[in-house]
Structure 1
Amino acid sequence: MLDAILWFFQNIGLAFYNFGYAITHPQLWLNWSDKEALMRFVYYGGSVEFFYVVLTAFLVLTAFGIWKNQFMWGCVRVLEGFANAVGRFFAWAGLLMVIQQIIIVFIQRIFARPDIVLGFGIPLELDISWWSEELKFYNALVVALCCTYTFVQGGHVRVDLIYSAVKFRTKKVIDMVGCLIFMMPMAVLTWMYGWYFLWRHLIVPKPSASDTLERLLLKSRAVRWNVETIGFSPNGFNGYFLFKILLVAFAAMVFIHAIAFFYRSYLEWKEGPESENKYLDKDSLGEGEEAYEGTH
């Protein structure tokens, strides 16, 4: 037990050194023309070192925010603003999905064409099945990148057994505990799975979560790009590696918003009911439509 505690605080201390070394030596992990730098990036993206850098940053920001509450409110506004901006932008993918589906139906049923051609000069000509399967990507954009936006807007379904019956500050304690034991661990586990799942479909030899840095550096001698371009059908959508990128982006955004929601819950717990939804940027359907807000 003592060794585990010592190891934890040792990693917290090393996080400052690791972060400083990384930002002062970017060529060691961002210069992807160097195969060893690419493998360092792959390793550190899912490493214990990276986890403790993120954890230490969270602890430092939290400690400073507890001392200066206005700083913590600033963090909440920035992080929620990020979730809103990303979600509002990528929500338009839902409209694109509908329009493209209508075009596909017209092309297939009315014009009886097996493909869709776009552009002038050198046109983009793809089979109708490619465009049909691409609709999944639009749906993935909405699910992965609008998740935290929906959370900010209060659009997620809540299974409420005791939450509504408890006092205001008890609710905020429940929210804080939920962030720490559900949202953050889930995001970390999804990231750890998604990170190596992504890179196994981008490069060969395929990296593994169990590989040490030394082993990955040895593999770098033979590393080459091998981006997945195989579809479910011969002429179908061939950009499925993009779904792996979205999985990693989803995990990162959930973790970031878990921090924002933890901070908001703490500040509302401390300041009382009058601070509920303070600085919250919620969409509005217009005057007279208040009863429907938060359900769209």
Structure 2
Amino acid sequence: MLDFILWFFANIAMSFWNVIYAVTHPGLWLDWSNGEALMRFIYHGASAEMFFVVLTTFLIVTGIGIWKNAFMWGCVRVLEGFANGVGRFFAWAGLIMVLQQIVIVFMQRVFAASQISLGFGSSLSLDVSWWSEELKLYNAMVVALCCTYTFVQRGHVRVDLVYSAVSFRTKRVIDMAGSLLFMMPAAILIWLYAWYFMWRHLITPKVSASDSLELLMRKASIIRWNVETVGFSPNGFNGYFLFKVLMVAFTAMVFLQAVAFFYRSYLEWKEGPESEGKYLDRDTLGAGEEAYEGTH
């Protein structure tokens, strides 16, 4: 137990040095023309060192926020604003998906065309099956990038066993516990899998979470880009690596929203019922919105 405590605090202390060293030596991990730099970036993206950097940052920001509640409210507004901004933008992918599907149906059934061209002059011409399979990408964008937006908007389904029957501050304690014990650990676990899953479809030789930094440095001499471009059909959509990128983006946004939700729950617990929904930027249907409550 003592060894674990010493290891834990040693890594917390080292996280400051790791950040300073990374910032002052960007070429060691940002120069992707160098195989070793790329391998360092991949390794540290899901390493214990990265975990302790994130943990230390969270602890410092939380400590400052407990001391200065206005600072913590600022963090909440920035993180929730980020989730809302990304979600509201990529929600338009749903409309694009519908319009594209209409065009595909017309081109196939009415004009009997085998290709669809997009653009003026030098246009992009691809098989109809490519455009049809690409619709999955729009759906993935809505799911991955609008998830935290929906959470901020209180649009997720809550399985309620005791929540509605307890007091306001007890609810906030439940929310804080949910953020720390479920949202954050789940996001970290998914990140560990999604990070290497993404890179295995972008480069060769393959990398995995079990690879040590020394092994990755040895692989760096033969590394090359090998972006996944194989579709499920001969002329079908060939950008499936984008789905892996979306998984990583989704996980990062869920973690950030878990932090924002923890901060909001703490502040509402501390300030009382009058602070419920403070600074919350929720979409509204305008006057008479309450008539639609629970119908969408």
Question: Could you say which TM-score interval applies, normalised by the shorter chain?
Answer: over 0.9
- Two-structure CA RMSD over aligned residues (Å): 1.0
Whole-angstrom CA distance in 2 between matches of 1:134 and 1:289: 35
SS in 1 for 2:278: coil
Residue 276 of structure 1 and its aligned partner are, at CA, apart by 0.2
Whole-angstrom CA distance in 1 between matches of 2:64 and 2:295: 36
Alignment of 1:27-106 (within 5 A): 27-106=27-106
Residue 295 of structure 1 and its aligned partner are, at CA, apart by 6.1
TM-score (norm 2): 0.98
Residue 293 of structure 1 and its aligned partner are, at CA, apart by 5.2
TM-score (norm 1): 0.98
Whole-angstrom CA distance in 2 between matches of 1:291 and 1:209: 51
Identify if the C-alpha distance between structure 1 residues 294 and 153 changes in structure 2 by more than 3 Å, giving closer, same or farther.
farther
Whole-angstrom CA distance in 1 between matches of 2:202 and 2:128: 26
Whole-angstrom CA distance in 2 between matches of 1:111 and 1:26: 54
**1:230 paired residue number:** 230
Residue 115 of structure 1 and its aligned partner are, at CA, apart by 1.3
Residue 121 of structure 1 and its aligned partner are, at CA, apart by 2.9
Residue 265 of structure 1 and its aligned partner are, at CA, apart by 0.1
Whole-angstrom CA distance in 2 between matches of 1:285 and 1:93: 21
Query: Residue type of the partner of 1:80?
Result: E
Whole-angstrom CA distance in 2 between matches of 1:295 and 1:177: 30
Deviations 1:8-49 (A, max 9, x none): 111111111101111111110001111110110000001000
SS in 2 for 1:23: helix
Residue 291 of structure 1 and its aligned partner are, at CA, apart by 3.9
Whole-angstrom CA distance in 2 between matches of 1:293 and 1:75: 29
**2:166 paired residue number:** 166
More off after superposition, 33-42 vs 113-122 = 113-122
Whole-angstrom CA distance in 2 between matches of 1:48 and 1:291: 50
Query: Residue type of the partner of 1:106?
Result: F
Alignment of 1:107-146 (within 5 A): 107-146=107-146
Deviations 1:242-268 (A, max 9, x none): 000000000000000000000000000
Identify if the C-alpha distance between structure 1 residues 61 and 293 changes in structure 2 by more than 3 Å, giving closer, same or farther.
farther
Deviations 1:220-262 (A, max 9, x none): 0000000000011111100000000000000000000000000
Whole-angstrom CA distance in 2 between matches of 1:273 and 1:26: 46
Deviations 1:78-112 (A, max 9, x none): 00000000000000000000000111111111111
Matched, 1:8 2:16: no
Residue 290 of structure 1 and its aligned partner are, at CA, apart by 2.6
SS in 1 for 2:117: strand
Whole-angstrom CA distance in 1 between matches of 2:33 and 2:292: 52
- Contact map agreement 1:155 1:295 (CA 8 A) in 2: no
Whole-angstrom CA distance in 1 between matches of 2:290 and 2:238: 43
Residue 2 of structure 1 and its aligned partner are, at CA, apart by 1.1
Whole-angstrom CA distance in 2 between matches of 1:291 and 1:161: 26
Whole-angstrom CA distance in 1 between matches of 2:100 and 2:248: 26
Moved over 3 A (4+): 293-296
**1:282 paired residue number:** 282
**1:212 paired residue number:** 212
Query: Residue type of the partner of 1:91?
Result: A
Deviations 1:48-88 (A, max 9, x none): 00011001000000011000011000000000000000000
Query: Residue type of the partner of 1:185?
Result: P
Query: Residue type of the partner of 2:112?
Result: A
Q: Which blocks of at least 5 consecutive residues in structure 2 are unaligned? A: none
More off after superposition, 285-294 vs 120-129 = 285-294
Residue 292 of structure 1 and its aligned partner are, at CA, apart by 2.8
Q: Which blocks of at least 5 consecutive residues in structure 1 are unaligned? A: none
Aligned length: 296
Residue 196 of structure 1 and its aligned partner are, at CA, apart by 0.2
More off after superposition, 2-11 vs 284-293 = 284-293
Query: Residue type of the partner of 1:197?
Result: F
Whole-angstrom CA distance in 2 between matches of 1:126 and 1:11: 52
Whole-angstrom CA distance in 2 between matches of 1:283 and 1:98: 22
Whole-angstrom CA distance in 2 between matches of 1:114 and 1:164: 56
Deviations 1:124-159 (A, max 9, x none): 111111001000000000000000000000100111
Percent pairwise identity:
75
**1:178 paired residue number:** 178
